[in-house]
Structures are given as C-alpha cells and as structure tokens.
C-alpha cells in the first residue's frame, strides 16, 4: 500500500500529471472568480450606488461591496477550493491512470475510454456526496471534537477510496465489474483512502490529492486485480 503511494509520488514530474493538476486548479480559480464577479454584479442591481452615514457622509457602496465581498469569497475559497478542484481534476483523472499504465504496465492493452457524460456524472455525484457527507459530519466534529480528526480521516478515506478505486476499475472491468472488485477489497480500499485523507487537511498539499489518489489506486488496482486481467489474455477462449 505504501509502495503504491511512493510510486505515485515518484511520477509527479510526469507532464501528464502536471497538466491534470494545472487544469484542475486553473478551472477552479476561474470558477471562483466568475462566482465573485456574478455575486458583486447581482448585488449591484439591487443596492444604491452610495449610502449616507452620519458624520462620515456619502460613501460609494460599490467600493465597499467589492472589498467586502472579496474577503468573503477569499474565506469561502478556503473551504471550496479542495472539493471543487477535486471535481474539476476528476474530469481528467483518466489521463493520470493512462500515464501510470504506460510507465509501469505497458503490457496491458489500451483501456476503453469513458464517455465525457459518464465522467461528468461520476464527478458531480462524488462532489455532491463529499460535500453533503462532510456537512453532516460537522455535527459529529462539534459533539466529539477530540475525535474530529479521526472522523474526518475515516469519512473522507472511505469516500476517496471508493471514488478513486471505482474510477480506475471501471476502465478495465466496466461499471458492474468495478463494483464487484470494490466489494472484494473494501477494507484495503478504505485504509488506503484514509492514508490519502490525512494530507487532505494540509493546505496546498491537499491540491495534489486527486492526482496522487488516481495514481496510487491505479497501482493498487493492478496489484489486487492484475491476475484477473491477465487471465483473459492468457486464455482468450
């Protein structure tokens, strides 16, 4: 398991890894800026240009609004950056799996590509599940504050392991085959996901998790299911 993770880290210099990371972060930043601009523009439609305050006099509301909403968005971005970046990066994670297979498992035939619609559906579903689950877990964080880190790692470990193993397995086994493989190795997948969830709470480092997760679980899938993949090639009839 640790060997899978260190193999993934050793390939971070791969241009395809870096491309996926940059695209995910770039799209996230562009979305947050777009939300900020739309938010300020919408408020500007309903609020006056200036307000009068005692002693101070007239104040341009547009400037105050821009500055205030900027800091609000900056604060929200701390919480939104990782899940949104994970969602955007998820669209391109197949490129990471391909890069790992090309380098470490060149004997495998090319995997069928998922349709863009299927990838979007899986990505949006994962993002929604991750946000809802963590919002619900906030109650447990407050009630069991001492155990909050363990709850965070266990919950997000389950979600990350489920998502990344499923994404990798679908490419080789199809959707139903991936579910069956996940059921066969559920405890190992959860533990590996928990290891990925630990750096999820470290700023900046957490942005690497989608790429590292896809690469790590590609190695893990090959280690756990490689014999099943080799059997059909050896016995095609």
* Choice among 42-46, 137-141, 216-220 with the minimum mean pLDDT: 42-46
Instruction: Answer yes or no: are the C-beta atoms of 211 and 5 closer than 8 Å.
Output: no
Q: For the chain, give me the number of helices (H) and strands (E)?
A: 8, 2
Q: What is the pTM of this model?
A: 0.73
pLDDT one-digit tens code per residue, 128-178: 777 788 778 778 777 877 777 888 888 888 888 888 888 888 888 888 888
Q: What angle in degrees, to the nearest 10, is found between the helix axes of 15-46 and 93-104?
A: 170
pLDDT one-digit tens code per residue, 82-133: 666 666 666 777 888 888 988 898 888 887 777 777 777 777 777 777 778 8
């Amino acid at each position: 398991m640790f060997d899978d993770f260190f193999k993934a880290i050793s390939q971070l210099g791969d241009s395809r890894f870096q491309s996926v990371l940059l695209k995910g972060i770039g799209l996230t930043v562009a979305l947050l800026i777009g939300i900020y601009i739309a938010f300020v523009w919408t408020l500007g439609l309903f609020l006056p240009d200036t307000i009068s305050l005692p002693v101070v006099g007239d104040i341009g509301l547009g400037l105050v609004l821009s500055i205030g909403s900027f800091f609000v968005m900056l604060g929200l971005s701390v919480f939104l950056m990782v899940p949104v970046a994970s969602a955007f990066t998820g669209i391109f994670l197949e490129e990471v799996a391909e890069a790992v297979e090309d380098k470490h498992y060149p004997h495998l035939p090319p995997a069928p590509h998922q349709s863009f619609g299927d990838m979007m559906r899986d990505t949006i579903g994962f993002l929604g599940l991750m946000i809802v689950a963590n919002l619900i877990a906030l109650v447990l964080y407050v009630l069991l504050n001492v155990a909050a880190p363990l709850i965070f790692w266990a919950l997000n470990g389950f979600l990350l392991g489920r998502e990344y193993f499923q994404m990798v397995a679908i490419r080789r086994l199809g959707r139903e085959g991936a579910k069956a493989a996940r059921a066969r190795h559920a405890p190992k997948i959860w533990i590996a996901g928990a290891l990925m969830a630990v750096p999820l709470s470290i700023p900046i480092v957490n942005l690497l998790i989608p790429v590292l997760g896809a690469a790590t679980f590609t190695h893990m899938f090959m280690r756990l299911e490689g014999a099943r993949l080799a059997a059909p090639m050896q016995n095609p009839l």
